[in-house]
Structure 1
Amino acid sequence: MKPSSLALFGTSADPPTEGHRALLEGLAKRYGQVAAWASDNPFKQHGAPLELRAQLLGTLIASLGNPEISLEQDLSSPKALVTLQRAQARWPKHQLVFVVGSDLARQIPHWYRAGELLQACDLALVPRRGYPLEPEALADLRKLGRQVEVLSFPVPGTASSAIRQQPSPEQVPEALWPELIRHNLYGLGQPASHTSH
């Protein structure tokens, strides 16, 4: 019997956007099950602390009402290999698929023990606007890994970084508003206001 697939999706969720919502739903349709977490990328500046970003991501996931999509915050590690090892221990019978945005495609070969990581799971790349997948970057990943797939389902071109720079209420899922307002995050604390913080 073919093992069932499980997509592993770490994201800065800073804040979660309509793009995150569409991607989570698309991954669940494609792979059946999704484990997500808020990641602490040592190479990124974050607008909110990890604990709060995990809470926002959890709220978004709860609002989807899909039992196949879960927040698994304890998978989070600055090292992707450590995350994968935690997932392997939890779901030993699943075919694990590591999901990464195309903006990170060139970085992956330089990750900690990247070859070991990519031999132990499949890799799915999500095209992101402004980050076309270069053929040579894809070829490098295919040399390192056992299975590299470029996902083609539509994801709105919303970026958390753009929302942090220029608040765009329509790009933020409705379920997150109570928490964003309570914590006055990302200059989105007062939806009617156009002042930036």
Structure 2
Amino acid sequence: MVQQRIALFGTSADPPTRGHQALLEQLLHRYDRVATWASDNPMKQHGAALSVRAMLLKALVEQLNSSNLDLAQDLSSPFTMVTLQRAHQRWPQHNLVFVVGSDLAAQIPHWKQADQWLSQCHMAIAPRQGWPLTAMALADLTRCGASVEVLDVEIPASASSEQRRAPQPELVPSAVWPLLLEHNLYGLNPTPC
């Protein structure tokens, strides 16, 4: 029996952008299944509650409309080790690949218990425009025991932090933008007719 390869992509989704959309679409072409979830990053301040960000990510997942894409909110934890334990319990017979953007690569060795979980998972790094992946970051991950693959993907330069500061509708997935307006998120107000 051939083991499925499942990409695990947790994100702050604060809010989800076209970059998140592009990465999920490209992961769906590379892996048998993709699981995504909104999570709290202990190293960031979030602009919306986790439940709201999960709702926004759910809208993006529904927009992508793929039977191979799961919103796996039950994997969400501020700590990667906990998330990976949950994923291994959920898919014990599959090859799991932990996916992160290049903007996080240098931070990962400093994450809680990184030395314990990095050697136990395969990691894929998606280069993001504007956040180059450095040789030092890769060397640090390898030194910590990580098995790292750099994905050949193109992720546009669309950062959630920029969307919170200066929202641009064209950089937000079409299913997400109406929710931002409806819930008055990130200071956005619907324009009256």
- Residue 69 of structure 1: how far off its partner (Å): 0.8
Q: Does the 8 Å CA contact 1:167/1:187 hold for their aligned counterparts?
A: no
Tell me if structure 1 keeps the 8 A contact 2:105–2:138.
Answer: yes
Alignment-derived partner of residue 170 in structure 2: 170
Cross-structure match for 2:38: 38
Q: Which 4+ runs in 1 deviate beyond 4 A?
A: none
Residues 150-165 of structure 1: matches in 2 within 5 Å? 150-165=150-165
Which aligned pairs between 1:56-135 and structure 2 lie closer than 5 A?
A: 56-135=56-135
1:133-177 Cα shifts (integer Å, max 9, x gaps): 111210121232352011121112111111111110111111123
* Contact preservation (8 Å) 1:169, 1:188: no
TM-score by length of 1: 0.92
Q: String of CA shifts for 1:8-62, please: whole Å, max 9, x gaps.
A: 1111101111111110011111112111110101111111111000000001101
Matches of 2:137 and 2:3 in 1, distance apart? Answer: 29
Distance in 1 between residues matched to 2:169 and 2:9, nearest whole Å: 24
SS of the residue 1:8 aligns to: strand
Between the two proteins, the alignment pairs up a number of residues equal to 193
With 82-91 and 2-11 compared, the bigger mean Cα shift is at: 2-11
One-letter amino acid matched to 1:19: G
CA contact (8 A) 1:123 1:148 kept: yes
C-alpha contact 1:8 1:34 (8 A) present in aligned 2: yes
Counterparts of 1:134 and 1:48 in 2: how far apart (Å)? 31
Question: What secondary structure sits across from 2:176 in the alignment?
Answer: helix
Return the letter of the residue paired with 2:40. D
Task: State the one-letter code of the partner of 1:18.
Answer: R
Q: Which amino acid in the other structure matches residue 63 of structure 2? A: S
> CA contact under 8 A between 1:122 and 1:145: conserved in structure 2?
no
- CA distance in 1 between counterparts of 2:32 and 2:18 reads 20
Aligned to 2:26: 26
Partner amino acid for 2:107?
A: Q
**Aligned counterparts of 2:54 and 2:72: Cα–Cα separation in 1:** 9
* Alignment partner, residue 195 of structure 1: none
Kindly indicate whether the alpha-carbon contact (under 8 Å) linking 1:28 and 1:69 is maintained by their aligned counterparts in 2.
yes
5+ residue gaps, structure 2: none
Distance change in 2, residues 1:175/1:161 (3 Å): same
Whether 1:4 and 2:12 are equivalent positions in the alignment is no
Q: Give the drift of 1:2.
A: 4.1
| Partners of 2:186 and 2:13 in 1: CA distance | 12
How far the C-alpha of 1:191 sits from its partner, in A, is 5.9
- Can you give the 5+ residue segments of structure 1 that lack an aligned partner in the other structure? 193-197
**Kept after mapping to 1: 8 A contact 2:129/2:155:** no
